[in-house]
C-alpha cells in the first residue's frame, strides 16, 4: 500500500511540524508514504468564497498528483471534506471520483484503514480537543451533540492511546471556533468573538495544550492565545500521536 501525503498549503508554509509529524507517524506505523513535490492546495479557499468555478486548475493538479496512489491522507478534515465533496473534472470524471473516494483525513485513516489499537506515544499533559466542524459534521469523525445517536470519537480514541494524556471536558463539546476560511477576515468581529469563547472554554478547564485535526482552526485559536499572552499552546493531533512536538 502506498499513501500519497497531501499537505495543505498553509500547513506546508506555516506549520511544517504538523506535516513532519504526520509523515513520521505514518512511517512508524509501517506505511509507505510519498509526498508529491508538485502539490499546492485543495482549492477550498476559492470554493467556499463562491468561486468554485475557479478551482479547475487546482482540481486538475490535485488529480495529477494523487490519482495513482492507493490512498491519499491529509492532516486536515476541512481540505479532505472539500476534495470529497467538490473535486470534479469534466475531462476525467472517473479519476476525480476515485480521488474523492481514496482520500482520508489522518485520524480516520488510522482508525478505519490501519485500525490502529495502540501507539508508542507519551504526552503527560492536560489537553483540550477542538472538534473542527468540517471534520466532525462533514466527515463524521465523531458524534455530534445535535444528533440523537451513540457517542464515538475517532480522534478521541486515538488520543486515549497516548500514555499520560489527560483529556479535558468542555462546556460546549463541539462548538465552532469561528475560523471558517475567509470568514475569519470577512467577518472579523464575529470570528474573533467565537475564537475567544472557544479558547476560554479550554482555559477554564485547565488545558495546557489545545489540539485538533485541523491546523486552520488551531492557527486561529493560536493567534488569539498569543495575543492574550497565554502560555497555552496548540499542537496538531499528529504531533501528539507522534509523541509530542519535534525538538529541532
- Chain positions 188 to 247 lying near another protein, rule: CB under 8 A, are 188-197, 219-220, 222-224, 226-227
| Residue 199 beta carbon to another protein: minimum distance, rounded to whole angstroms | 11
Could you identify the residue written with the cell 506535516? 19
Q: Return the number of the residue (165 or 238) whose C-beta is nearest another protein.
A: 238
CB 182 within 8 A of CB 50: no
186 forms part of the interface with another protein (CB under 8 A): yes
Return the range that interacts with another protein (CB under 8 A); candidates 29-37, 116-124, 153-161, 235-243: 29-37
Could you identify the residue written with the cell 525538538? 247
Q: How many CB atoms lie within 10 A of CB 175?
A: 16
Could you identify the residue written with the cell 482520500? 103
Return the C-alpha cell found at 144: 455530534
User: Which of 3, 6, 31, 36 contacts another protein by CB under 8 A?
Assistant: 36
Q: Return the number of the residue (98 or 230) whose C-beta is nearest another protein.
A: 230
Q: Return the number of the residue (161 or 197) whose C-beta is nearest another protein.
A: 197
| Residue 115 beta carbon to another protein: minimum distance, rounded to whole angstroms | 26
DSSP H or E run through 59 = helix 56-66
User: Which of 12, 28, 92, 161 contacts another protein by CB under 8 A?
Assistant: 12
Helix, strand, coil share of the chain (percent; to 5):
50, 15, 40
Q: Return the number of the residue (160 or 246) whose C-beta is nearest another protein.
A: 246
| Residue 102 beta carbon to another protein: minimum distance, rounded to whole angstroms | 17
For residue 196, report the phi and psi dihedrals to the nearest 5 degrees.
Answer: -60, -45
| Residue 223 beta carbon to another protein: minimum distance, rounded to whole angstroms | 3
- Positions 44 through 83 that interact with another protein (CB under 8 A): 45-58, 60-61
Could you identify the residue written with the cell 475531462? 91
Hey, which residues does 5 pair with through a beta bridge? 73
Q: Return the number of the residue (10 or 95) whose C-beta is nearest another protein.
A: 10
Q: How many CB atoms lie within 10 A of CB 58?
A: 22
User: Which of 28, 29, 35, 161 contacts another protein by CB under 8 A?
Assistant: 35
Q: Return the number of the residue (151 or 164) whose C-beta is nearest another protein.
A: 151
CB 27 within 8 A of CB 57: no
Alpha carbon distance 228, 79 (integer Å): 29
Q: How many residues bind another protein (CB under 8 A)?
A: 79
30 forms part of the interface with another protein (CB under 8 A): no
- Positions 136 through 165 that interact with another protein (CB under 8 A): 137-138, 144-149
Which of 21, 57, 54, 27 has its CA nearest to residue 39?
Answer: 57
| Residue 161 beta carbon to another protein: minimum distance, rounded to whole angstroms | 25
Hey, which residues does 126 pair with through a beta bridge? 166
Amino acid at each position: 500500500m502506498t499513501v500519497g501525503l497531501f499537505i495543505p498549503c498553509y500547513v506546508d508554509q506555516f506549520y511544517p511540524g504538523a506535516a513532519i509529524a504526520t509523515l513520521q507517524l505514518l512511517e512508524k506505523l509501517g506505511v509507505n508514504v510519498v509526498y508529491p513535490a508538485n502539490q499546492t492546495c485543495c482549492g477550498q479557499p476559492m470554493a467556499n468564497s463562491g468561486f468554485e468555478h475557479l478551482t479547475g486548475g487546482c482540481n486538475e493538479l490535485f488529480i495529477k498528483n494523487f490519482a495513482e496512489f492507493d490512498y491519499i491522507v491529509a492532516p486536515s478534515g476541512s481540505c479532505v471534506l472539500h476534495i470529497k465533496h467538490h473535486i470534479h473534472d469534466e475531462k476525467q470524471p472517473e479519476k476525480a471520483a476515485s480521488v474523492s473516494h481514496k482520500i482520508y483525513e489522518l485520524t480516520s485513516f488510522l482508525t478505519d484503514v490501519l485500525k490502529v489499537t495502540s501507539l508508542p506515544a507519551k504526552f503527560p499533559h492536560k489537553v483540550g480537543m477542538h472538534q473542527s466542524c468540517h471534520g466532525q459534521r462533514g466527515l463524521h469523525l465523531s458524534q455530534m451533540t445535535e444528533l440523537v445517536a451513540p457517542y464515538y470519537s475517532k480522534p478521541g480514541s486515538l488520543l486515549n492511546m497516548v500514555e499520560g494524556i489527560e483529556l479535558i471536558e468542555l462546556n460546549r463539546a463541539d462548538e465552532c471556533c469561528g475560523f471558517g476560511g475567509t470568514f475569519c477576515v470577512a467577518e472579523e468581529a464575529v470570528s474573533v468573538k467565537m475564537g475567544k469563547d472557544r479558547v476560554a472554554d479550554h482555559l477554564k478547564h485547565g488545558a495546557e495544550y489545545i489540539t485538533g485535526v485541523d491546523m486552520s482552526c488551531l492557527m486561529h485559536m493560536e493567534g488569539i492565545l498569543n495575543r492574550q499572552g497565554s502560555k497555552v499552546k496548540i499542537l496538531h493531533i499528529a504531533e501528539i500521536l507522534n509523541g509530542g512536538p519535534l525538538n529541532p
